[in-house]
Amino acid sequence: MRNTEAGRTGAVRPLWSEAESLRERISQAHGLFAFFSFDAALAQRAAHGHLRTNPAARAALIRLCAAPNTRGAVLSGRPIEVLQRRLRLHRLSYVGVHGTEVAGFGLRLVTEPDLESAETAVGRLRK
């Protein structure tokens, strides 16, 4: 069985295969914090070979950031300044250069994690 096959523990399944259950789970949630990869999900190649922001993806992020009890973050190996210049969204968090830069709404960089708080958070997620 390949690692991407449904049913295998730890398997990575395409998001669209979970669309119905996700829609229900999200509608019942008290809040949502969504993470997006700039390079994989929000950008597209321009004619000159550089990446540019996908206008439809940016419009979806605007709607997401405006929704109550909802926050979003964009992750990238690029510097935060590049992400902020391309997206220009203030209610969005930015994580750049593979996690070494963090700026934004609802996130903070933790260099020495509090193990007790982390275990409590993991316990809440498992429920």
70: Cβ contacts below 8 Å, ≥ 6 apart: 31, 32, 33, 34, 64
99: Cβ contacts below 8 Å, ≥ 6 apart: 75
- pLDDT for res 107: 64
Residue length of the chain? 127
Structural domains in the chain, CATH included, are 32-126 (3.40.50.1000)
- pLDDT for res 96: 87
CA 8 to CA 13: how far, in whole Å? 10
Query: How would you write the pLDDT of the chain (127 residues) with one tens digit per residue?
Result: 344 555 555 566 677 777 788 878 888 888 888 888 888 878 877 666 677 788 888 898 899 888 888 888 899 988 989 889 888 888 888 988 877 788 877 666 666 767 888 889 889 888 7
CA 95 to CA 83: how far, in whole Å? 9
CB 115 within 8 A of CB 103: no
Q: Could you report the per-residue pLDDT of 23-48, keeping only the tens digit for each?
A: 788 888 888 888 888 888 788 776 66
- pLDDT for res 108: 66
What is the pTM (predicted TM-score) of this model? 0.62
Q: What angle do CA 86, 102, 83 make, to 5 degrees?
A: 10
CB 96 within 8 A of CB 76: yes
